[in-house]
Amino acid sequence: MNRYETFLQTNPQLNEEEAWPAHRFPEADYRYFRECGCLICSLSVLLLESGLEENTEEKPFNPWILNQRLIACGAFTPSADLELAEIQKLYPLRYCGSLPYSQKALEHALESGSLCLITVPGIRADRHFTALLRLVANDAVVFDPLCGEKDLSAYDQVCEIREFRCAVGEKCKEIFGLRKNPERDKKKIEKAEIERRCCCADCI
């Protein structure tokens, strides 16, 4: 069983109803996770891997929950495209943009404390998003929302690295304070500060 099997975009539970309904997203071409949910599924796994989210009985978390939160905070365009920079409305993460893929660039991003999504060619010529899980020798293991864990070298082409960095300065602590468990978040802030993973203006 894949560790994140329930986070696959083909999971029937994620496709029981439209994720991006017409009354909210009139310009969207696709409405179900199975059609275009790779970004939200990959982002969900990245949040779990980073420790910014947890999936427990007391506090369940999955791509559907993340998608609803992003919709509520206005992070999507009318065509249901996610504006990645809007993630900071929910989490102390700053989207740092994209850069062409190379193994060296990926290693450098990780050494800098970044969290990474990696894009590969999609079925409809769109980018398909995966989440970086770990580096292995001269390769990397990613979560692919279509199949689960997969070696990056198994893809015919790798396109871009989408980079995020933890941001835990004063402005980011205010964001943390809006969440439901400030005591737990306080510990995460302290851990991030110790590891010097902050990239916001208050901490650089």
Which of 28, 26, 139, 157 is closest to 80 using CA atoms? 28
CATH (residue range 5-166): 3.90.70
Could you give the count of Cα atoms lying within 13 Å of 135 in the half-sphere of its Cβ? 14
H or E stretch at 39? helix 38-50
- Full pLDDT tens readout for the chain, 204 residues: 468 999 999 999 999 999 999 999 999 999 999 999 999 999 999 999 988 898 988 889 999 999 999 999 999 999 999 999 999 899 888 899 999 999 999 999 888 888 999 999 997 668 999 999 999 988 999 999 999 999 999 999 999 999 998 765 555 555 444 444 555 556 655 655 544 445 444 444
CA pair distance 61, 55, nearest whole angstrom: 5
How do the domains of the chain map onto residue ranges?
5-166, 169-204
φ/ψ of residue 107, rounded to 5: -60, -40
